[in-house]
């Protein structure tokens, strides 16, 4: 399977639709996996901008609504917008630090309008440069993509560990035996379900595990029903609810840097997802995906939302379940829109305790790291200096994870990039790949020194000789489905 289908062949799994019930439950599973990540940024930014609890809840609903719009732009697309892959978009964590800084530096009535104005400009500029940014795909051979995919998974694991402890390190029960026990129990439930179930039920093992964990958590006493009792039935995110956007140069520059970071991470995520679903992301796919990212970002402030980018945890869900239909994720986007318009429905999803979500998250995020390791297996690690490239890039990428305060004495503007292990690791991998494997260096057998097989999809743009061998076949499982993160 190469993802290229001639007339008369069946649709590629990415373009297939499922029966309505399977479509809904699989889409709901994606929403459950990303829900905490979507509502967390507004929960942080809202209080920093002086918002009340009610206004912060409104901001959370707006973030769900705009994440749904951005996800539909990615999966369904139009014109040259959208990767048309099972690619989930939501509020980017990369923008939290600068937005909090803006909120604290401005008066409460000006903070959000200034943030929204900066996000609009950053989104528009990102949309304009997307065609040029997408050309960087030729600098992402397997030694780079494998490193970045591995870092994505490893960078997400601390999030799962934090959720497993309770999510709030100031809470008295943070890291309690109860929280960790629930996370461990959910982790085991997911593994058992994946082992004993078959067919569609196996594909939604994460959702079933979250439901089972939540039900068990009720008598344990860690399920909070207060949000459900206080939520209203209908709540539309009124355009410019917090005032018309304002345009501040310093804030705009800060958010433009954030946009570049988001575009770098999204490029790596699209390459990872393309390999997992058996449809490698080429330059046109990445261009469309970046346009969807940036257009969604530019539109979000209209409905009181923030910058959007890819959600890597959902890539792990695709890798584990092997449900590759983009229409499943589009269904998840519709569910997000409904949740944004119906606070009661959103509150039902929020009933899942963070320890339960953390237990499932360990499996999800670990799947992403495993996909990266599998990609590195095709990167000819025995050739040239590829092992050194991976070692250096992973080492630098782990700094923000292993030592969060490592860069504390550097200028705050640099922290937007340096605090993202994915971005720093990606940049180091690209730079070292250029330094060690390009500038005319070739191996004796004619293959690129960076481990890109000549003639393979990742070889485009490297100036390699004519193909000497076809791309490797995608490994399949017993059902004939690609066995997660196929190598070139």
Predicted pLDDT at 346: 65
Is residue 391's pLDDT more than 70?
yes
Mean pLDDT calculated for residue range 279-296: 89
Q: Return d(Cα 273, Cα 267) in angstroms, integer.
A: 10
Give the list of residues 6+ apart from residue 66 with CB closer than 8 angstroms, or none.
91, 237, 296, 299, 300, 303, 304, 305, 306, 308, 340
Tell me the pLDDT tens digit for each residue of 398-432: 998 888 888 888 887 677 677 777 778 888 888 89
Give, in degrees to the nearest 5, the angle at Cα 245 between 244 and 246: 120
**pLDDT (mean) for 146-166:** 82
Tell me: the pLDDT tens digits for 28-74? Answer: 888 877 776 787 788 778 777 877 767 777 888 888 899 999 999 99
CB-based contacts of 358, cutoff 8 Å, min separation 6: 160, 161, 162, 163, 164, 165, 167, 183, 186
CA distance 126 to 25: 34
Question: Each residue of 457-468: pLDDT tens digit?
Answer: 333 333 333 333
3-state DSSP call for residue 216?
helix
What integer pLDDT is reported at residue 384 of this predicted model?
A: 67
Percent of the chain scored above 90 by pLDDT?
16
> CA–CA distance from 283 to each of 44, 271, 288, 381, 470 (Å)?
35, 10, 9, 25, 20
Pick from 115, 94, 116: which is nearest to 104 by CA? 115
Q: How many CA atoms lie within 13 A of 231 on its CB side?
A: 26
Long-range contacts for 458-461 (Cβ within 8 Å, ≥24 apart)? 458/140, 458/141, 458/142, 458/145, 458/280, 458/488, 459/141, 460/137, 460/138, 460/282, 460/283, 461/135, 461/137, 461/138, 461/139
Q: What is the pLDDT of residues 323-355, one digit of tens each?
A: 888 999 999 999 999 888 877 776 676 678 889
- Could you give the 3-state DSSP secondary structure of residue 22? helix
Distance separating alpha carbons of residues 340 and 469, to the nearest angstrom = 50
pLDDT of residue 187 exceeding 90: yes
Predicted confidence band of residue 294 (pLDDT cuts 50, 70, 90)? very high
pLDDT given for residue 116 in this prediction = 92
Q: Which two tokens stand for residue 208?
A: 């079933």
pLDDT at residue 295 tops 90: yes
User: What is the reported pTM?
Assistant: 0.66
Q: For residue 392, what pLDDT is reported? A: 93
Taking a C-beta distance cutoff of 8 angstroms, is the pair 214, 58 a contact?
no
Of the two residues 319 and 477, the one the predictor is more confident about is: 319
Residue 244 has pLDDT above 70, yes or no: yes
Place of tokens 């340096």: 418
Chain centroid offset of residue 115 CA: 22
Read off the pLDDT of residues 245-258 as tens digits, 9 standing for 90 and up.
889 887 888 788 77
DSSP 308: E
Q: Above 50 in pLDDT, residue 91?
A: yes
pLDDT value at residue 188: 94
Q: Tokens 């749904």 — which residue?
A: 68
């Amino acid at each position: 399977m190469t993802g290229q289908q001639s007339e008369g062949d069946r649709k590629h799994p990415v373009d297939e639709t499922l029966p309505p019930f399977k479509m809904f439950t699989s889409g709901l599973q994606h929403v459950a996996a990303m829900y905490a990540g979507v509502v967390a940024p507004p929960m942080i930014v809202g209080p920093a901008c002086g918002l009340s609890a009610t206004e912060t809840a409104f901001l959370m609903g707006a973030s769900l609504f705009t994440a749904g719009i951005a996800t539909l732009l990615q999966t369904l697309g139009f014109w040259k917008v959208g990767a048309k892959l099972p690619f989930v978009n939501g509020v980017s964590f990369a923008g939290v630090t600068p937005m909090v800084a803006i909120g604290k530096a401005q008066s409460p009535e000006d903070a959000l309008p200034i943030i929204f104005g900066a996000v609009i400009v950053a989104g528009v500029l990102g949309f304009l440069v997307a065609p040029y940014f997408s050309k960087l795909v030729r600098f992402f051979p397997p030694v780079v993509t494998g490193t970045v995919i591995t870092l994505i998974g490893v960078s997400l694991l601390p999030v799962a560990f934090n959720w497993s402890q309770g999510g709030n390190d100031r809470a008295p029960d943070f890291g309690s035996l109860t929280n960790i026990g629930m996370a461990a129990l959910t982790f085991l439930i997911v593994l058992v379900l994946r082992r004993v179930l078959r067919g569609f039920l196996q594909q939604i093992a994460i959702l079933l595990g979250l439901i089972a964990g939540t039900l068990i958590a009720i008598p344990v006493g860690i399920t909070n029903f207060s949000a459900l009792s206080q939520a209203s039935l209908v709540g539309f995110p009124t355009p410019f609810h917090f005032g018309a956007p304002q345009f501040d140069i310093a804030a705009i520059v800060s958010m433009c840097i954030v946009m570049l970071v988001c575009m770098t991470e999204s490029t790596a995520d699209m390459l990872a997802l393309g390999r997992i679903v058996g449809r490698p992301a080429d330059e046109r796919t990445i261009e469309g995906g970046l346009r969807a990212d940036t257009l969604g970002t530019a539109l979000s402030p209209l409905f009181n939302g923030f910058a959007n980018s890819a959600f890597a945890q959902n890539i792990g869900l695709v890798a584990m379940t092997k449900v590759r239909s983009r229409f499943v994720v589009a269904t998840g986007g519709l569910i997000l829109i409904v949740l944004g318009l119906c606070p009661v429905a959103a509150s039902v999803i929020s009933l899942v305790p963070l320890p339960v979500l953390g237990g499932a998250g360990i499996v999800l995020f670990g799947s992403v790291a495993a996909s990266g390791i599998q990609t590195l297996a095709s990167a000819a690690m025995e050739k040239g200096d590829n092992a050194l490239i991976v070692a250096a890039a992973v080492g630098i990428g782990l700094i923000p994870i292993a030592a969060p305060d490592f860069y504390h004495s550097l200028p705050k503007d640099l922290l937007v990039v340096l605090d993202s292990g994915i971005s720093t690791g990606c940049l180091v991998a690209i730079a070292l790949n250029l330094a060690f494997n390009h500038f005319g260096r070739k191996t004796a057998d004619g293959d690129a020194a960076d481990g890109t097989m000549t003639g393979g999809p990742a070889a485009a743009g490297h100036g390699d000789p004519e193909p000497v061998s076809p791309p490797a076949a995608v490994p399949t499982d017993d059902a004939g489905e690609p066995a997660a993160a196929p190598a070139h």
